[in-house]
């Protein structure tokens, strides 16, 4: 008996994007509901037997009632089974977002919420062995019971878990909620659907992370996808395909400026960004006053074009040239201060003098770039 599944995870409905401007944060918040609607459409188009959601459906236990209702509304496009697992963000506590959803009466009959570690039979086609988190962090392998669980003969055995596969993911990944790397083999699973790692990742031929369907961080890890899993018969090796889900493309730029061509290349890359990009740009190195002006103009143009942009320039050192100073046209006392700061750059207070020089140069440049006041404005 063949089985077709759509594997997703880490929806994190209700996530707040505090690092962005309010309108951008609202669009990214909304995109997570739209990704669930897209999953429902794809599940229907591919005629899957069920959608597996391997934890972190919600971003926090405190998401609003409105967000809970909207989530289940977004799932309405697919009438088949949605098999959902609590993760570390929405753990199955005694009082949780899941108990609140049940009290609200919004959980549809086709949603199989796995709040306990017990075998669930779905549609008489497959057995789910879930490992729900009942607290945010555990340090024992909650999938261990899979290896001793019996399921009806002739049904596919599907594991569902949320955590960190031991010895496989990079060293900087939190080691809480461990999962044995060979769990699919020891438990005789046809497929082990995992969540927690936000990108799609193959652990072995039967064990995969689906990743979040809508990218949510500046890390290149194959996120924004879901997995279409075809299993020809119990015991057969799954055929796994990635399906693109996400709308927004999160990117990082970390240019290091040393020569004029570095700036030109950075400006060209900025100009090629698209309206659905979410960009973080951190600039390092040195540039003159004219270069800084060009870079700032390009960043502001990109900010208006992109979905969201975060700009960090604290590591960019501004070193005005002789031409920059001449263009400032500072005279009188201000000119004397400029000259004094330029001289002190070679003294014991060089760093402080250079910082003060940069600040003053920027202020003069901004004043010089303002349009001259008309006679009426000057008298007002």
pLDDT of residue 351: 72
Q: Which of 187, 190, 4 is nearest to 81 (CA)?
A: 4
pLDDT band at 321 (very low <50, low <70, confident <90, very high): confident
Asked if pLDDT for residue 370 goes beyond 70, the answer is no
The pLDDT-based confidence of 378 (bands split at 50, 70, 90) is very low
pLDDT for position 380: 42
Instruction: Report the predicted TM-score, pTM, of the whole model to 2 decimal places.
Output: 0.86
3-state secondary structure 294-323: HHHHHHHHHHHHCCEEEEECCCEEECCCHH
Residue 237 burial by Cβ neighbours in a 10 Å radius (0-12, 13-18, 19+):
exposed
pLDDT in tens, 230-243: 999 999 999 999 99
Q: Which residues, other chains included, contact 140 with Cβ-Cβ below 8 Å and sequence gap of 6+?
A: 178
pLDDT value for 345: 64
Say if residue 376's pLDDT is above 50. no
pLDDT digits (tens, 9 = 90+) for 291-317: 988 998 999 999 999 999 999 988 888
Interval 332-350 mean pLDDT: 75
Segment 137-149 shows an average pLDDT of 95
CA pair distance 325, 358, nearest whole angstrom: 11
Instruction: Kindly state the percentage of the chain with pLDDT values over 90.
Output: 74
- Predicted confidence at residue 368, as pLDDT, reads 64
Mean local confidence (pLDDT), 161-177 = 77
Q: Which two tokens stand for residue 60?
A: 């926090």
pLDDT band at 347 (very low <50, low <70, confident <90, very high): confident
Confidence class of residue 354 from pLDDT cuts 50, 70 and 90? Answer: low
- 212: closest CA among 228, 224, 230? 224
Range in 256-260, 288-292, 300-304 with the lowest mean pLDDT: 288-292
Query: What is the model's pLDDT at position 30?
Result: 97
Q: For residue range 177-209, what is the model confidence (pLDDT) as tens digits?
A: 999 999 999 999 999 999 999 999 999 999 999
What domains are there in the chain, each with its CATH number?
3-244 (3.60.21.10), 249-369 (no CATH)
φ, ψ of residue 182 to 5 degrees: the values are -105, 20
Q: Residue 231: which residues within 8 A CB-CB, separation 6 or more?
A: 2, 3, 4, 5, 156, 190, 191, 238, 239
- Give the mean model confidence (pLDDT) for residues 318-340: 75
Question: Looking at residues 68-86, what average pLDDT do you find?
Answer: 98
Count of C-beta atoms within a 10 Å radius of residue 353: 18
Q: Give the residue-averaged pLDDT of 274-291.
A: 92
């Amino acid at each position: 008996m063949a089985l077709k599944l759509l594997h997703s995870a880490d929806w994190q409905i209700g996530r707040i994007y505090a690092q962005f401007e309010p309108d951008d944060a609202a669009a990214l918040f909304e995109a997570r509901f739209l990704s669930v609607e897209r999953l429902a459409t794809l599940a229907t188009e591919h005629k899957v037997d069920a959608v597996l959601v391997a934890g972190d459906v919600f971003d926090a236990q405190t998401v609003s009632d409105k967000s809970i209702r909207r989530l289940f509304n977004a799932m309405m496009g697919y009438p088949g089974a949605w098999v959902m697992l609590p993760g570390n963000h929405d753990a199955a506590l005694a009082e949780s977002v899941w108990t609140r959803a049940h009290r609200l009466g919004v959980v549809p009959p086709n949603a199989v919420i796995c709040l306990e570690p017990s075998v669930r039979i779905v549609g008489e086609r497959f057995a789910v062995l879930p490992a729900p988190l009942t607290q945010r962090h555990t340090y024992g392998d909650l999938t261990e019971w899979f290896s001793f669980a019996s399921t009806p003969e002739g049904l596919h055995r599907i594991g569902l878990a949320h955590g960190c596969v031991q010895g496989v993911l990079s060293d900087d990944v939190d080691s809480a909620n461990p999962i044995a790397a060979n769990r699919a083999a020891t438990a005789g699973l046809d497929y082990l659907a995992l969540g927690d790692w936000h990108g799609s990742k193959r652990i072995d031929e039967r064990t995969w992370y689906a990743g979040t369907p809508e990218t949510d961080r500046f890390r290149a890890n194959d996120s924004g996808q879901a997995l279409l899993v075809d299993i020809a018969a119990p015991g057969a090796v799954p055929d796994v395909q990635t399906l693109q889900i996400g709308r927004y493309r999160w990117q990082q730029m970390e240019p290091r400026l040393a020569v004029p061509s570095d700036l030109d290349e950075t400006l060209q890359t900025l100009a090629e960004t698209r309206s659905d990009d979410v960009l973080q740009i951190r600039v390092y190195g040195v540039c003159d006053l004219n270069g800084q002006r060009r870079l700032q103009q390009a960043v502001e143009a990109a900010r208006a074009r992109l979905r969201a942009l975060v700009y960090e320039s604290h590591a960019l050192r501004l070193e005005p040239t002789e031409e920059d100073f001449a263009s400032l046209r500072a005279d009188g006392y201000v000119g004397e201060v400029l000259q004094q700061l330029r001289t002190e750059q070679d003294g014991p207070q060089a760093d402080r003098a250079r910082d003060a020089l940069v600040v003053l140069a920027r202020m003069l440049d901004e004043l010089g770039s303002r349009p001259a006041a008309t006679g009426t404005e000057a008298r007002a």
